[in-house]
Structure 1
Amino acid sequence: MPKSKVRRKPAYTPPPQASATRTAGPSHPAYVIIMLAIGIVGLAWLVVNYLAGEDIPFMAQLGGYNFLVGFGLVVISLLMTMKWR
């Protein structure tokens, strides 16, 4: 049986890099402070809800939505960590 011909692939050449690309620098220090503050406020909201939620009028009105507010703030803080450099 005859041997099949081996096809040669051309050598890999990487795509040209754009000369105008800029690498992103570090985040502003205020970004970190805001990110941590939002996370701490969300955690504090949950703790206050557990300890004295019924005694605070506006928290008593919110009822189960207090969990949404507290966890929402914590999730926003965690999402902000993805943009932090």
Structure 2
Amino acid sequence: MPKSRIRKKADFTPPSSRTPQSIKLTNRSWVAPVMLGLFLIGLAWIVLFYVTEGKLPLKSIGDWNIVVGFGFIAAGFGVSTQWK
């Protein structure tokens, strides 16, 4: 039976230390404070609604205050996708 040829692996060349111009490095230091702020606002909104028995923060929208609070929390999760 014929013997197969041994394949030689290509020599390793490390990538260059330069960053390509196509990659933009942006400063995203704003993401964590905004995300946490939205989480806390949403939580405070819901807690305030329950503690005041629906009189605050907005009495006119009634139980929709819960949706507004969860909206702030959902926005916080949306902002968290920008975190790197």
Relative to the length of structure 1, the TM-score reads: 0.63
Is the Cα contact below 8 Å between 1:36 and 1:77 reproduced in 2?
Answer: yes
Runs of 4 or more, structure 1, over 2 Å off, are 23-26, 53-56
Q: How many residues align?
A: 65
Is the Cα contact below 8 Å between 1:27 and 1:84 reproduced in 2?
Answer: yes
Structure 2 unpaired stretches of 5+: 1-19
Aligned residue number for residue 54 of structure 1: 54
1:83, 1:76 → 2: CA distance? 12
Aligned positions of 1:21-40 closer than 5 A: 21-22=22-23, 24-25=25-26, 27-28=28-29, 30-40=30-40
> Percent identity over the alignment?
23
Structure 1 unpaired stretches of 5+: 1-18
What code does the residue aligned with 1:41 have? I
Is the Cα contact below 8 Å between 1:39 and 1:77 reproduced in 2?
Answer: yes
Q: CA RMSD in A?
A: 1.9
2:44, 2:25 → 1: CA distance? 33
Please list the CA deviations of residues 27-53 of structure 1 after superposition, one character each: whole Å capped at 9, or x if unmatched.
12x321111101100011011111114
